[in-house]
């Protein structure tokens, strides 16, 4: 069993797609498949169930995933200690990257080119593949330092003819997608919000949480639809518009995610700069607003203090 093979295994386990994992690892898909088969041969059990349409972990694969992440994290930690502070600071993100935070870094900064979902970016911080990430964290984690960067108020997309300036949360449709590899974080948030606010969940399987597919669903449903925090590359088309959500306003809390035990000067400086940035620009005026965050959100107490101030 080689460390490289474990990295390949973790990538496939997180993506559940050999093509996407190969792109992420910068290797050819056939080579990745051969390495996974070699790993399976070395451990003596299949780690994945795969056919032409899907990939999933076996029970043995799920067991190995936890250990593989820990082994990779230990190797990365040893490498960091040997390198000291000379290595670049590796920062990943999902869809939002504040320029001010990037500009504040005085050390060598390497922005990760792979824009991955929150749960994958957090896993990469844990296993040492990234030093920091800007992502949504569903709950506190003993091995992570989670620093609130921005409580983003989510909006609704409605028909342009609708005259309401505010949309009550219980009127919303909330999309959740069957693709957990891409949308697991959003699905967790969306389902919990729908239950709490009395909104209606709409199951989809076409990736239409964002982009043109999302706008197609808005037209088809002919009802206000909650917009995800993804930076939408496609503008809202004619016939649709965005409106604020109230009673309550859902907040998507972006965190700066670093390892709790990482006390390198570059990481400590990044946290300090992030705190200054947050209080200066990215925490909205939440006073007297009825807001909502998930029950296990690591920033729930901070948001409550802001709304009660």
Interval 59-114: pLDDT, tens: 999 999 888 888 887 776 676 566 555 578 899 999 888 877 887 777 778 888 77
Q: Phi first, then psi: what are they for 5, rounded to 5°?
A: -65, -35
Q: What is the mean pLDDT of residues 161-185?
A: 91
Residue 14 lies in a domain: yes
pLDDT of 77: 65
Residue 261 lies in a domain: no
Residue 49 pLDDT exceeds 80: yes
Residue 70 lies in a domain: yes
User: Same structural domain for residues 160 and 76?
Assistant: no
pTM recorded for the entire structure: 0.73
pLDDT in tens, 273-297: 888 877 655 555 566 678 999 999 9
Q: Are strands 132-136 and 89-93 parallel, antiparallel or unpaired?
A: parallel
51 vs 49: CA distance, rounded Å: 7
The 3-state DSSP class for residue 250 equals strand
User: Same structural domain for residues 157 and 246?
Assistant: yes
91 vs 129: CA distance, rounded Å: 10
Residue 300 lies in a domain: no
Residue 33, domain extent = 1-83
Residue recorded with tokens 């400590």: 268
Residue 10 lies in a domain: yes
CA dihedral defined by 42, 45, 51, 54, rounded to 10 degrees?
Answer: -100
Residue 13 lies in a domain: yes
Total number of domains in the chain: 2
Residue 142 lies in a domain: no
Residue 288 lies in a domain: no
Q: Which of 83, 109, 134 is the last residue of a domain?
A: 83
Q: Which of 83, 111, 142 is the last residue of a domain?
A: 83
Q: Which of 83, 103, 120 is the last residue of a domain?
A: 83
CATH of the domain at 6: 1.10.10.10
Residue 34: its H or E element: helix 29-43
CATH of the domain at 191: 3.40.190
pLDDT of 177: 95
The 3-state DSSP class for residue 168 equals strand
What's the DSSP call for residue 31?
H
């Amino acid at each position: 069993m080689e460390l490289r093979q474990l990295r390949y295994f973790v990538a496939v386990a997180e993506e559940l797609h050999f093509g996407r994992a190969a792109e992420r690892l910068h290797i050819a898909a056939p080579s990745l498949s051969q390495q996974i088969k070699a790993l399976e041969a070395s451990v003596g059990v299949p780690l994945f169930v795969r056919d032409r349409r899907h990939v999933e972990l076996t029970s043995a694969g799920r067991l190995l995933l936890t250990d593989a992440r820990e082994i990779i994290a230990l190797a990365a930690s040893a490498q960091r200690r040997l390198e000291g502070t000379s290595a670049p600071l590796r920062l990943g993100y999902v869809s939002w990257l504040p320029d001010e935070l990037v500009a504040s870094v005085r050390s060598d900064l390497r922005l990760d080119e792979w824009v991955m979902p929150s749960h994958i970016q957090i896993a990469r911080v844990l296993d040492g593949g990234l030093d920091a990430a800007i992502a949504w964290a569903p709950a506190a984690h003993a091995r992570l330092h989670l620093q609130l960067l921005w409580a983003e108020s989510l909006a609704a997309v409605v028909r342009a003819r609708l005259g309401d300036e505010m949309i009550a949360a219980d009127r919303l449709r909330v999309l959740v997608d069957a693709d957990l590899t891409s949308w697991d974080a959003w699905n967790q948030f969306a389902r919990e919000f729908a239950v709490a606010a009395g909104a209606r969940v709409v199951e989809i399987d076409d990736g239409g949480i964002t982009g043109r597919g999302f706008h197609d669903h808005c037209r088809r449903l002919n009802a206000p639809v909650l917009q995800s925090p993804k930076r939408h590359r496609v503008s809202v088309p004619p016939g649709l518009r965005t409106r604020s959500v109230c009673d309550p306003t859902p907040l998507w809390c972006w965190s700066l995610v670093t390892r709790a035990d990482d006390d390198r000067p570059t990481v400590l400086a990044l946290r300090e700069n992030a705190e200054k940035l947050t209080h200066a620009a990215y925490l909205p005026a939440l006073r007297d607003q009825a807001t909502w965050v998930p029950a296990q959100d690591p920033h729930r107490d901070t948001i409550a203090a802001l709304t009660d101030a």
